[in-house]
Amino acid sequence: MCQSEARRGPELRAAKWLHFPQLALRRRLGQLSCMSKPALKLRSWPLAVLYYLLPLGALRPLSRVGWRPVSRVALYKSVPTRLLSRAWGRLNQVELPHWLRRPVYSLYIWTFGVNMKEAAVEDLHHYRNLSEFFRRKLKPQARPVCGLHSVISPSDGKILNFGQVKNCEVEQVKGVTYSLESFLGPRTPTEDLPFPPAVRHRSFRSQLVTREGNELYHCVIYLAPGDYHCFHSPTDWTVAHRRHFPGSLMSVNPGMARWIKELFCHNERVVLTGDWKHGFFSLTAVGATNVGSIRIYFDRDLHTNSPRYSKGSYNDFSFVTHANKEGIPMRKGEHLGEFNLGSTIVLIFEAPKDFNFSLQAGQKIRFGEALGSL
């Protein structure tokens, strides 16, 4: 047997095993084409999964009668990640028996490299459920806040990207971008927003830059499952507005961010906007699979990962009131919120042209360490 025949052996055997009558297949595909989109998607999904799991060429007879598999990205987007995340959240709240806590948490610590010596409470039996363990607090001296730099890291994590925002596009990872306007949402000309009303014929980026001579900067920090899950204020600023985008809960790990364009715009996120001493400042907490719960400590009205939502919708809430015309003041390093598992923080802010990041893409960083300064 020649080498080419030997290589094709598994493919030929699979094709023979899956020998379909083409006339019956054409008739069945014709019935599928008459179905509604949701029903068609449901019926085609198992075939698409088999297409990517079975050996090469196993489902080639289907392509001869007009069937085409959905892309891997479309297949992944069809997974009910919001439902799975709510189920995971319920599981996290289940109190573990005292004897089971140490083996369960020890497995998690070993898998994700958690450093429990930094935890305020090192005794694993103290954490009644997985949720409490994920949201564990650190010892006060574990994360000293850098006082010399104007912007610090709000969390532990990995730097995915940083730099100036150009052409209204922001890089989620190198070479893969998303729209600044899609991410933050459209400008609303109301008094509650921390920036002036939109002006026609100006780019979205230039509308956010409120002072002459300033530039717009961004920084993306990925929190892995083993990282400290709370996030803090990265600088002294005032939070004036919150915008909540219900959405998907796809994984935001770097590999997935390279795979899916505008991933951060698809996922559920909470955008906090306000001002710091150099102008516009925003911090966005992006949800992910099993991270449907995003909590902002001073925002009791925020409820994430609701069972129902309208695609593309968002909810606005202003912290500026008649009694409080400034908003919520935050000090650098102050507790701001938390995730239930790993996720992503995106900073977008205005600063003078001589602002410099002291970072490298891909580096590990801890809460309190410097991101950059003037």
List, by residue number, the catalytic residues.
Answer: 156, 232, 343
**Residues in the chain, total:** 374
Residue reference for tokens 């920090």: 221
Residue 313 tokens read as 């919708």
- For the chain, the 3-state helix, strand and coil shares in percent, each to the nearest 5, are 30, 25, 45
Residue 64 tokens read as 């001869």
- Which residues, other chains included, contact 294 with Cβ-Cβ below 8 Å and sequence gap of 6+? 268, 269, 270, 285, 287, 302, 304, 337, 339, 343
Cβ 274 vs Cβ 241: under 8 Å = yes
Q: Is 5 exposed, middle or buried (0-12, 13-18, 19+ CB in 10 A)?
A: exposed
Cα-flanking dihedrals φ and ψ of residue 35, to 5°? -80, 160
Number of neighbours of residue 354 by Cβ within 10 angstroms: 9
The residues pairing with 343 across neighbouring beta strands, listed in sequence order, are: none
Q: Tell me the C-alpha distance between 232 and 333, whole Å.
A: 5
Q: Tell me the C-alpha distance between 304 and 299, whole Å.
A: 12
Cα-flanking dihedrals φ and ψ of residue 29, to 5°? -65, -30
Give, for 157, the enclosing helix (H) or strand (E). strand 157-164
Helix (H, G, I), strand (E, B) or coil at 205: helix
Closest CA to 314 of 270, 367, 352: 270
Cβ 257 vs Cβ 175: under 8 Å = no
Cα-flanking dihedrals φ and ψ of residue 280, to 5°? -65, 140
Q: Tell me the C-alpha distance between 107 and 18, whole Å.
A: 42
